[in-house]
């Protein structure tokens, strides 16, 4: 494909547009505007307006237009003085006007007739009622909120993550059935766009709420703005939240702080589940420390700011591994005759908790209900003893200390505790410089090292104490923002911002490649691995140019935002294997031998075919010292583990560019993909009247198809529901999907101040918005599964390739695995006509998700600095990311459902007789129908027709599909039988959202600040999360309900969103207690007492919500083989069930459904979904209160000491998750220790502020 030519043409067009117009916002700046009139209401054109930053004394000059309007755009945040001068009028000065990010500040001016030497001076603070823009609903999180409120511990970054404060905004609720983060007005939790000083800081490969690779902290930020609904045209790339963060800047005075925060396990309550299970409180130790400093380099001209935060955290983990018992390590296998091996935690245990057998040893007089032994080493046909490599592995296994695990006699548990280490360092440096009144610049560079040693999230902790971890994770984010602001004239301002955002996630195995191969044993938890890890590197270069033009009553803005993203993966995971060799000790053990069974004169040896004969104990009860059939596989595993018998050698190979050969062994899979994004916008803010503003805008977002260095192949026909079935899919060089070039995004709205006094505003807005693409799913699920790009080789020839034809052992030497000479990458482009593998493809009609959003908002200043804000929010989203398995078995169009029902009723089905007539599991005297009734009795009992169909669709006998043997086409059940699983990622899901939102807000004034919001909403969708890590859910997980129940009818999934919470309240308050000097009480107290009582601050955050919905599954596959149907429920309401902490139904442990309610549930009929459907029931609600107590003591006039005591979940209230929701489970309806929040935690801290 001529991608380079297309790219050059598009870039040329983009540059022409950029040069002829302008560009974006989202630069972390804001706007000061106003209307200048005389006392009679006449406009005053040509008045001189000066804007002065009160912290830096930097001034900007402008003038009013012919409509009396002035605008200062692209301004840094802070407190400003507005000065207006006009011949014949008194000078007007308005001080302390607070400019916040993304919220235009309106300072209207009324000039009085008089001499310019006379001054009219007023003091302002900030604009409470928004009359300057119709959209951009949301709120500003100011610096006091950032530094005073307790920052939650749920962020995954150890706390002090200011993005948590996104949750304080109306329309934002947390949690989903996937364990996701926050959702804004019905949007998915990845529909966030984060910028820092105008530059992207998103985790752009996978995205997500409340997370950015660049980790800011409260002391590094001036403030940030959260736009939750209907952003105006300058904002794009997300239909959910637009979060613009702004780094602090230096001022003419030196300011800064030093801080230290501490958490440990002694300051925490034990978790609910631990108390229930009698588990001790886990160990925890966390130190967070750092500081910042800012000030002048050259007064009134150049300023700097620097911030550092470090962290050292030790988080405990407890693991139980499976190890061999001391006798098993010596080759002595013990088993129960007349029963089965049972550990100490089970009924009828054959071992006590100390590891002592509870049954006697078998002897001549004791022949049953006794323990017999089998010596593996003495029965080695080659008489070689334990393999040296195996001996090394066995020697690393500690002796067991937990006999409630394994079979107790030969395998048991080793339980131990360890620590995960999270050392982190993050830095921010910013320089601001003003050349003159017309030219200014700033630069900000942020970087960090965020590592995890013993990465438990990725199961990377050491398998046993003293050994190397399996995964250490290194994260190295970097972010740069450079801005140049140019005042071309009084009415024309340009702001150019450029920068980059990069981060690396390196999942390192410290032992990778230390030895030529890893060994995977059968029974114990393996102590070592030498496999290669994975690395993900994402870098985005960004260019933003903003031009604003004030003409008459219009503020016209236009611009572009160019992003060029590189996503590079280097994976040790190749073709389902690893790039390094892995040896599996899983060779078949021949249990028969010459001379008879064990105990009846049989002998070990090697037969004429080179087969090793072990004479293992027989499983028939008539044999001497017979072994239970469930215990013998463990014995066979011990044989393989001790003797080092090689079952298979596995390795993955890569073919990046050459279609005729694979690269050298050990080569990593490397994917280097590029994702260009080009955004343009034009917006006019038109002040039609002094009290009426109209916003008109349009945005265009071009999303070009990605291109990769290396091969990029797609199927030769569209793979989707309803497409022509095929057994000849072939991959060829092609674009992954079509470029999405029709993303036009209009916006319009108005802001009306009906009485013209700045006390009331009525705003309405409409916007069409688009969401960005998710590169992680494409990288992890598409690129590395393209046929021919990778090849997983499983060599089983060692099973007869040892000396004399015996099974090879490790001591015999390991031969290198190579791809078969008969297999070339080009041959893999067309997989075999029938297969049982899995692959994921992308629908070539894939489009960017789009959202129509509309809002109506009323704000009213009711006095005493209190604002009431009421909104109606609506949205309808289409083309949302989704996924499904197109090879869901068909039971409707081929007669299989009818045949199943006939057989289930005891009848004979011609189709079943044909289908199973040659099944080798069928008895000669049986018909196919009778065979189905016997073989699938449990499935018939549960009406699980799709499970039976899946068995037939995938059954192969002697290399031939059962369908072919039955004379049926291989497309009988699956349209694309080259694969058992053929997942398709598409953009056909949809959602709707409606909400009433009420917010009461008071900015900090007279020692008090608060905000409270209530949202009454309903969110409906077909899928609630992007297919990022869970592409297609299966079985009965709650997240699986976002997978289509029936791929032919996606509307069956249209129900309440996983995150839907009908009622949601959140609020916070900050109160400086009025005691001490210059306060209401204690102003005249003795100095010592005054030092004690003054400087106290109390604050807190409260969250109350109704429960999220959940799905009750039938536990069976009545409709689909991919996921289970939902249960039937007779007379059940959505609110049925509640948490009973001492449920009599579940022997005193917490339950949700009572016994009577459980009896109302039943199985649906074959072919049915069930009458409850997706997300029918309401789960438990939520209550959480966090509080902080601060004491500030002034040490000097400019230095104070701040002591902090922060309490999270003050009331130690558990928030329960969902009950067991699978009808066939023995614990159905029980909730027990399903708690999704943390217990009470306390953090203490100290700060020195200067």
pLDDT, the chain, mean: 91
Question: In the numeric block, which tokens belong to residue 810?
Answer: 């490790």
User: What pLDDT is attached to residue 180?
Assistant: 58
User: What pLDDT is attached to residue 593?
Assistant: 61
Question: In the numeric block, which tokens belong to residue 345?
Answer: 């935690």
Question: Binning pLDDT at 50, 70 and 90, where does residue 235 land?
Answer: confident
3-state per-residue secondary structure call for 26-78: CCCCEEEEEEEEECCCCECCCCEEEEEECCCCCEEEEECCCCCEEEEEEECCE
Q: Which of 558, 488, 490 is nearest to 51 (CA)?
A: 490
User: What pLDDT is attached to residue 792?
Assistant: 92
Give burial (CB, 10 Å; 0-12/13-18/19+) of 994: middle
- Give the model confidence (pLDDT) of 1125-1138 as tens digits: 999 999 999 999 99
> How far apart, in whole angstroms, are the C-alpha atoms of residue 934 and residue 177?
38
> How far apart, in whole angstroms, are the C-alpha atoms of residue 1154 and residue 243?
44
SS3 811: helix
Question: In the numeric block, which tokens belong to residue 107?
Answer: 């300072």
Question: Binning pLDDT at 50, 70 and 90, where does residue 1048 land?
Answer: very high
Domain ranges within the chain, ordered by starting residue: 30-123, 326-409+588-644, 896-953+965-973, 1063-1249
Is the pLDDT at 771 greater than 50? The verdict is yes
Helix/strand/coil percentages in the chain, nearest 5: 15, 40, 45
Is the pLDDT at 165 greater than 80? The verdict is yes
In terms of pLDDT, which residue wins out, 713 or 784? Answer: 713
- Give the model confidence (pLDDT) of 881-909 as tens digits: 999 999 999 999 999 999 999 999 999 99
Question: Binning pLDDT at 50, 70 and 90, where does residue 6 land?
Answer: very low
> How far apart, in whole angstroms, are the C-alpha atoms of residue 630 and residue 635?
10
Is the pLDDT at 11 greater than 60? The verdict is no
User: What pLDDT is attached to residue 1125?
Assistant: 97
Question: In the numeric block, which tokens belong to residue 373?
Answer: 């032994």
Is the pLDDT at 533 greater than 70? The verdict is yes
Is the pLDDT at 7 greater than 60? The verdict is no
- Give the model confidence (pLDDT) of 829-851 as tens digits: 999 999 999 999 999 999 999 99
Is the pLDDT at 710 greater than 80? The verdict is no
Is the pLDDT at 5 greater than 60? The verdict is no
Q: What is the mean pLDDT of residues 1021-1039?
A: 88
User: What pLDDT is attached to residue 9?
Assistant: 42
Q: In the 8-state DSSP scheme, what is residue 544?
A: E
> How far apart, in whole angstroms, are the C-alpha atoms of residue 292 and residue 248?
10
CA–CA distances in Å: residue 521 to residues 403, 462, 481, 584, 724: 20, 17, 52, 6, 45
In terms of pLDDT, which residue wins out, 736 or 854? Answer: 854
In terms of pLDDT, which residue wins out, 759 or 101? Answer: 759
> How far apart, in whole angstroms, are the C-alpha atoms of residue 375 and residue 377?
6
Give burial (CB, 10 Å; 0-12/13-18/19+) of 792: middle
In terms of pLDDT, which residue wins out, 778 or 473? Answer: 473
- Reported residue count of the chain is 1250
Residue 290, Cα to own-chain centre: how many angstroms?
Answer: 28
> How far apart, in whole angstroms, are the C-alpha atoms of residue 1101 and residue 1103?
7
Question: In the numeric block, which tokens belong to residue 1201?
Answer: 């000491």
User: What pLDDT is attached to residue 19?
Assistant: 36
Q: What is the mean pLDDT of residues 1109-1135?
A: 96
**What is the C-alpha radius of gyration for the chain, rounded to an integer number of angstroms?**
35
In terms of pLDDT, which residue wins out, 598 or 883? Answer: 883
- Give the model confidence (pLDDT) of 939-979 as tens digits: 999 999 999 999 999 999 999 999 999 999 999 999 999 99
Q: Which of 59, 62, 60, 65 is nearest to 36 (CA)?
A: 65
The verdict on pTM exceeding 0.75 is yes
Q: Do 313 and 158 form a contact (C-beta atoms < 8 A)?
A: yes
Is the pLDDT at 1114 greater than 50? The verdict is yes
User: What pLDDT is attached to residue 178?
Assistant: 58
Is the pLDDT at 648 greater than 90? The verdict is yes
Question: Binning pLDDT at 50, 70 and 90, where does residue 332 land?
Answer: very high
Helix residue ranges, H only, 959-1048: 962-965
- Give the model confidence (pLDDT) of 171-204 as tens digits: 998 876 555 578 999 999 888 899 999 999 988 8
Question: Binning pLDDT at 50, 70 and 90, where does residue 624 land?
Answer: confident
User: What pLDDT is attached to residue 1157?
Assistant: 96
Question: Binning pLDDT at 50, 70 and 90, where does residue 3 land?
Answer: very low
**Percentage of residues of the chain with pLDDT beyond 70:** 96
481-485, 970-974, 1139-1143: lowest mean pLDDT where?
1139-1143
User: What pLDDT is attached to residue 8?
Assistant: 43
User: What pLDDT is attached to residue 125?
Assistant: 57
- Give the model confidence (pLDDT) of 541-563 as tens digits: 999 998 999 999 999 999 999 99
79-88, 98-107, 533-542: lowest mean pLDDT where?
98-107
CA–CA distances in Å: residue 679 to residues 27, 133, 497, 566, 1138: 15, 21, 14, 17, 49
Question: Binning pLDDT at 50, 70 and 90, where does residue 592 land?
Answer: low
CA–CA distances in Å: residue 82 to residues 32, 34, 52, 75: 9, 10, 7, 13
Is the pLDDT at 1001 greater than 80? The verdict is yes
Q: What is the mean pLDDT of residues 679-706?
A: 94
Is the pLDDT at 451 greater than 80? The verdict is yes
CATH code assigned to 30-123: 2.60.40.1120
Is the pLDDT at 356 greater than 90? The verdict is yes
> How far apart, in whole angstroms, are the C-alpha atoms of residue 532 and residue 670?
13
Q: What is the mean pLDDT of residues 1100-1104?
A: 96
Q: Which of 401, 397, 406 is nearest to 346 (CA)?
A: 406
Q: Do 568 and 674 form a contact (C-beta atoms < 8 A)?
A: no
Give burial (CB, 10 Å; 0-12/13-18/19+) of 241: buried
Cα four-point dihedral sign 96, 101, 102, 103: negative
User: What pLDDT is attached to residue 313?
Assistant: 92
Is the pLDDT at 595 greater than 60? The verdict is no
Q: Do 1163 and 1127 form a contact (C-beta atoms < 8 A)?
A: yes
Q: What is the mean pLDDT of residues 701-721?
A: 89
């Amino acid at each position: 494909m001529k991608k380079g030519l297309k790219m050059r043409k598009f870039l040329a067009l983009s540059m022409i547009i950029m040069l002829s117009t302008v560009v974006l916002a989202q630069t972390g700046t804001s706007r000061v505007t106003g209307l200048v009139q005389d006392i009679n209401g006449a406009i005053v054109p040509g008045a001189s307006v000066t804007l002065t930053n009160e912290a830096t004394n930097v001034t900007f000059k402008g003038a009013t237009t012919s409509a009396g309007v002035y605008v200062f755009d692209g301004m840094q945040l802070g407190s400003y003085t507005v000065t207006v001068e006009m011949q014949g009028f008194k000078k007007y000065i308005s001080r302390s006007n607070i400019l916040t990010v993304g919220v235009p500040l309106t300072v209207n001016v009324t000039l009085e007739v008089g001499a310019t030497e006379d001054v009219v001076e007023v003091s302002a603070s900030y604009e409470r009622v928004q009359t300057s823009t119709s959209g951009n609903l949301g709120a500003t999180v100011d610096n006091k909120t950032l530094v005073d409120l307790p920052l939650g511990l749920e962020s995954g970054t150890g706390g002090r993550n200011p993005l948590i404060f996104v949750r304080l905004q109306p329309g934002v609720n947390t949690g989903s059935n996937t364990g996701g983060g926050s959702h804004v007005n019905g949007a998915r939790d990845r529909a966030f766009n984060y910028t820092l000083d105008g530059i992207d800081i998103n985790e752009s490969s996978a995205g997500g709420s409340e997370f950015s690779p660049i980790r800011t902290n409260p002391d590094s930020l001036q403030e940030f703005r959260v736009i939750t609904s209907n952003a105006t045209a300058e904002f794009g790339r997300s239909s959910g939240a637009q979060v613009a963060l702004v780094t602090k800047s230096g001022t003419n005075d030196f300011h800064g702080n030093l801080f230290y925060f501490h958490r440990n396990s002694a300051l925490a309550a034990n978790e609910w589940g631990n108390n229930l299970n009698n588990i001790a409180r886990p160990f925890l130790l966390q130190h967070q420390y750092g500081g910042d400093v800012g000030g002048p380099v050259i007064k009134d001209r150049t300023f700097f700011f620097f911030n550092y935060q470090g962290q050292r955290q030790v988080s405990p983990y407890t693991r139980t591994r499976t190890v061999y018992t001391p006798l098993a390590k010596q080759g002595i296998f013990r088993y129960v005759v007349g029963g089965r091996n049972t550990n100490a935690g089970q009924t009828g245990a054959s071992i006590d908790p100390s590891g002592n057998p509870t049954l006697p040893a078998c002897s001549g007089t004791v022949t049953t209900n006794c323990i017999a032994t089998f010596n593996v080493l003495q029965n080695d046909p080659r008489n070689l003893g334990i393999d040296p490599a195996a001996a090394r592995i066995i020697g690393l296994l500690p002796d067991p200390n937990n006999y409630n695990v394994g079979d107790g006699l030969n395998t048991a548990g080793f339980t131990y505790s360890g620590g995960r280490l999270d050392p982190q360092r993050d830095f921010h440096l910013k320089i601001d410089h003003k050349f003159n009144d017309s030219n200014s610049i700033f630069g900000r560079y942020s970087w960090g090292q965020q590592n995890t040693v013993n990465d438990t999230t990725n199961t990377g902790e050491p398998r046993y104490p003293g050994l190397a971890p399996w995964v250490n994770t290194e994260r190295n984010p970097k972010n740069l923002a450079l801005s140049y602001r140019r005042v071309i004239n009084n009415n024309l301002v340009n702001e150019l911002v450029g920068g980059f955002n990069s981060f690396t996630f390196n999942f390192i195995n410290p032992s990778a490649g230390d030895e030529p191969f890893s060994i995977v044993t059968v029974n114990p938890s393996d102590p070592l691995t030498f496999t290669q890890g994975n690395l993900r590197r994402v870098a985005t270069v960004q260019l933003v140019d903003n031009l604003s033009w004030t003409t008459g009553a219009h503020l016209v803005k236009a611009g572009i935002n160019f992003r060029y993203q590189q996503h590079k993966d280097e994976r040790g995971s190749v073709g389902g294997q690893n790039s390094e060799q892995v040896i599996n000790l899983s060779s078949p053990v021949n249990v028969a031998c010459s001379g008879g069974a064990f105990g009846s004169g049989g002998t070990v040896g090697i037969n004429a075919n080179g087969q090793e004969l072990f004479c293992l104990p027989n499983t028939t009860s008539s044999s001497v010292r017979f072994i239970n059939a469930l215990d013998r596989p463990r014995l066979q595993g011990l044989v393989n583990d001790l003797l080092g018998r090689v079952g298979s050698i596995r390795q993955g190979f890569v073919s990046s560019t050459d279609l005729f050969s694979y690269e050298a062994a050990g080569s990593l899979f490397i994917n280097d993909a590029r994702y260009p994004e080009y955004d343009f916008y034009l917006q006019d803010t038109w002040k039609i009247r002094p009290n009426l503003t109209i916003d008109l805008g349009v945005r265009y977002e071009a999303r070009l198809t990605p291109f990769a260095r290396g091969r990029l192949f797609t199927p030769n026909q569209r793979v989707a529901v309803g497409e022509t079935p095929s057994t000849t899919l072939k991959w060829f060089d092609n674009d992954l999907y079509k470029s999405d070039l029709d993303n036009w995004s209009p916006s319009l709205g108005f802001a009306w101040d009906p009485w013209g006094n700045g006390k009331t505003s009525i705003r309405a807005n409409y916007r069409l918005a688009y969401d960005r693409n998710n590169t992680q799913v494409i990288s992890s699920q598409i690129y590395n599964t393209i046929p021919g790009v990778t090849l997983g080789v499983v060599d089983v020839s060692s099973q007869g390739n040892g000396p004399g034809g015996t099974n090879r052992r490790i001591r015999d030497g390991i031969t290198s695995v190579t791809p078969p000479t008969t297999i070339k990458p080009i041959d893999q482009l067309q997989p075999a006509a029938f297969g049982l593998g899995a692959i994921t493809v992308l629908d070539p009609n894939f489009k960017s998700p789009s959202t129509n959003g509309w809002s109506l908002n009323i704000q009213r200043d009711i006095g005493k600095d209190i604002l009431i804000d009421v909104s109606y929010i609506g949205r309808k989203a289409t083309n949302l990311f989704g996924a499904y398995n197109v090879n869901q078995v068909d039971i409707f169009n081929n007669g299989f459902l009818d045949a199943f029902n006939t057989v289930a009723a005891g009848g004979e089905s011609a189709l079943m007789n044909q289908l199973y007539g040659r099944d080798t599991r069928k008895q000669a005297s049986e018909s196919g129908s009778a065979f189905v009734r016997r073989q699938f009795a449990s499935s018939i009992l549960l009406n699980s027709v799709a499970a039976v169909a899946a068995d037939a669709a995938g059954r192969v006998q002697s290399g031939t599909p059962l369908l072919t043997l039955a004379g049926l086409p291989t497309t009988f059940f699956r349209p694309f039988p080259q694969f058992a699983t053929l997942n398709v990622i598409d953009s056909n899901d949809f959602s709707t959202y409606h909400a009433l939102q009420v917010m009461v807000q008071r900015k900090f004034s007279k020692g008090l600040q608060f905000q409270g919001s209530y949202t009454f909403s309903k969110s409906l969708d077909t899928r609630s999360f992007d297919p990022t890590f869970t592409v297609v859910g299966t079985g009965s997980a709650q997240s699986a309900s976002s997978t289509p129940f029936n791929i032919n009818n996606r509307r069956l999934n249209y129900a309440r969103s996983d995150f839907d919470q009908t009622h949601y309240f959140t609020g916070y308050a900050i109160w400086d207690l009025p005691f001490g000097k210059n306060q209401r009480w204690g102003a005249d107290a003795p100095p010592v007492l005054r030092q004690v009582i003054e400087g106290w601050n109390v604050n807190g955050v409260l969250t109350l919500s109704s429960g999220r919905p959940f799905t009750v599954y039938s536990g069976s596959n009545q409709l689909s083989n991919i996921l289970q149907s939902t249960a039937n429920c007779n007379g059940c309401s959505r609110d049925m069930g509640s948490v009973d902490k001492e449920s009599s139904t579940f022997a005193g442990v917490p339950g949700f459904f009572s016994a009577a309610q459980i009896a109302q549930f039943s199985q649906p009929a074959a072919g049915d979904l069930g009458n409850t459907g997706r997300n029918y029931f309401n789960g438990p609600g939520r209550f959480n209160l966090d509080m902080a107590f601060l004491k500030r003591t002034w040490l000097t006039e400019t230095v104070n000491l701040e002591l902090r005591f922060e309490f999270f979940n003050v009331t130690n209230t558990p928030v329960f998750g969902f009950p067991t929701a699978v009808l066939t489970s023995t614990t159905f309806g029980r909730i027990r220790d399903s708690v999704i929040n943390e217990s009470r935690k306390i953090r203490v801290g100290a700060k020195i502020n200067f």
